[in-house]
A and B are shown apart, each in its own frame.
Chain A
């Protein structure tokens, strides 16, 4: 597996992690509900996962979230870090079907991207996060499920809106695969 890891992917993981940390730290938008911020970083994670694939998504989510916890809290909430890694991985699995490098990001790709992100985040935040919280920290079940529900819903909406905008912008910078015409 490591033999195939391209330099570009390695750098993408590194820089992606740094951007993820910064977005997590500074670019959280207050949603109006106390203590719930809209995390733009997950839209970015989705973009990186689609562009650079599942392994990059997994590692940016994993290292990025762990590092954010480290620099902000001084300690790591592993249960939620695992979820970030999972979300990156699963969205990355859809990178083949979206195939953003072709420069085409129309209705079909938008739908398949959003199905991917809803599945990834739904499973991640609604199930995985609460279950890990219960296993590791033995927190009350109804509390962690409500937390997961709030975080998950806000992240799904954020990725749906901002993630789609980001991918549209990115697709415009790629040259379309069928952009050349044969001149008679």
Chain B
């Protein structure tokens, strides 16, 4: 049951010392860049850059390897699925057809398809390290304050803070309830019939949900008693002022974003075509 989850890893590095707001803005810019472009040159550049940033952050590969393994499995399955469903997608996009290997039916292996699938994989690879880094180098409570900093209403930022604060508690509740119900013979595995499994799942999540609904009452009452939401603004214990590094990081990412958009769209097509 002890499934690993990603969480904050405390270290001293230039990335850690950036404020949460900076990292959030950078992550958003980075994701938008990677989402919009399909230009292989930019994707490659972003990929190399993300490896460099990863090095700077002093996070070891070992510390996040369980997630990487999961992602690699997903990417492999995804690639196989794409090929099964649409083996000539690349031909459609790039407009030419170089057959490398004759296969039955429409499954001819083409250079275009390989290039297209490399691009898709690269696209995921570019986003993943950045998001991973954000997750492991930002303290949860600083994350909430940084949401507020970039313009999200503090009430909603506070919801996020509550969510991050209570995930471990609810995980513990879930485990207690699940073990107690399993001790009474409730089975969720493949051994049971599907209809039975659904009913058994309800036996675990109903108590979990009702205890959580009670929590909502208790927490919101105590917040009301302390006058939460009375003022238009609130201060954050974890908020830090911007430093030189923060401005540098944001400027760098903004330039990167603009340049990549120009390079991607200057020929009127999202795809870089080497054929």
Taking Cβ atoms with an 8 Å cutoff, the residues of A that contact B are 2, 5-8, 10-19, 21-23, 25-27, 29-32, 35, 38, 40, 43-44, 47, 59, 63-64, 67, 70-76, 78, 136-143, 146-147, 158, 161-162, 165-166, 169-170, 173
| Chain A residues with CB under 8 A of B162 | 10-11, 13-15, 17-18
| Chain B residues with CB under 8 A of A75 | 71, 124, 127-128, 130-132
A-B contact count (CB 8 A): 197
Q: Determine if B220 and A165 form an interchain contact, defined as CB atoms under 8 angstroms apart.
A: no
Question: Please, could you name 24 A-B residue pairs with CB atoms under 8 Å apart, sorted by A?
Answer: A7-B220, A7-B228, A7-B229, A8-B220, A10-B228, A14-B159, A14-B160, A15-B163, A15-B170, A18-B162, A19-B208, A19-B212, A21-B167, A29-B197, A31-B194, A71-B6, A72-B5, A73-B71, A74-B67, A74-B135, A136-B35, A137-B120, A137-B123, A138-B270
Q: Determine if A38 and B220 form an interchain contact, defined as CB atoms under 8 angstroms apart.
A: no
Q: Determine if A162 and B216 form an interchain contact, defined as CB atoms under 8 angstroms apart.
A: no
* Residue B267 lies at the interface, judged by CB distance under 8 Å to chain A: no
Give 4 new A-B contacts, CB below 8 A, not counting A75-B127, A140-B89: A2-B153, A12-B216, A26-B174, A165-B206
| Chain B residues with CB under 8 A of A35 | 77
Task: Classify chain B's interface size.
Answer: 35 or more
* Residue B99 lies at the interface, judged by CB distance under 8 Å to chain A: no
Q: Determine if B202 and A7 form an interchain contact, defined as CB atoms under 8 angstroms apart.
A: no
| Chain A residues with CB under 8 A of B35 | 78, 136
* Residue B223 lies at the interface, judged by CB distance under 8 Å to chain A: yes
Q: Which of B82, B135, B228 touches A140 (beta carbons < 8 Å)?
A: B82
| Chain B residues with CB under 8 A of A11 | 159, 162, 216, 219-220, 223
Q: Which residues from 53 to 71 on chain B have a C-beta closer than 8 Å to any C-beta of chain A?
A: 64, 67-68, 70-71
Q: Determine if A27 and B205 form an interchain contact, defined as CB atoms under 8 angstroms apart.
A: yes
Report the bound CA distance from A18 to B209 in whole Å.
11
| Chain B residues with CB under 8 A of A44 | 205, 209
Closest 8 CB pairs of A and B: A14-B162, A140-B86, A143-B85, A17-B163, A75-B131, A74-B132, A13-B159, A11-B220
Taking Cβ atoms with an 8 Å cutoff, the residues of B that contact A are 1, 3, 5-7, 31, 35, 38, 64, 67-68, 70-71, 74, 77, 81-82, 84-86, 89, 93, 120, 123-124, 127-128, 130-132, 135, 153, 155-156, 158-167, 169-171, 174, 178, 188-190, 194, 197-198, 201-202, 204-206, 208-210, 212-213, 215-217, 219-220, 223-224, 228-229, 270
Report the bound CA distance from A25 to B128 in whole Å.
19
Q: Determine if A32 and B190 form an interchain contact, defined as CB atoms under 8 angstroms apart.
A: yes
Identify the closest chain A residue to B85 (Cβ): A143
Report the bound CA distance from A99 to B220 in whole Å.
22
Interchain nearest-CB distance for A4 vs B (Å): 10
Which of A2, A10, A27, A76 has the most chain B CB within a 10 Å cutoff? A10
Q: Determine if A17 and B202 form an interchain contact, defined as CB atoms under 8 angstroms apart.
A: no
Report the bound CA distance from A56 to B135 in whole Å.
24
Given A14-B163, A18-B166, A72 contacting B155 (CB threshold 8 A): no
Report the bound CA distance from A76 to B130 in whole Å.
11
Q: Determine if B188 and A5 form an interchain contact, defined as CB atoms under 8 angstroms apart.
A: no
| Chain A residues with CB under 8 A of B5 | 25, 71-72
Q: Determine if A139 and B120 form an interchain contact, defined as CB atoms under 8 angstroms apart.
A: yes
Interchain nearest-CB distance for B163 vs A (Å): 4
Report the bound CA distance from A12 to B159 in whole Å.
8
Q: Determine if B85 and A140 form an interchain contact, defined as CB atoms under 8 angstroms apart.
A: yes
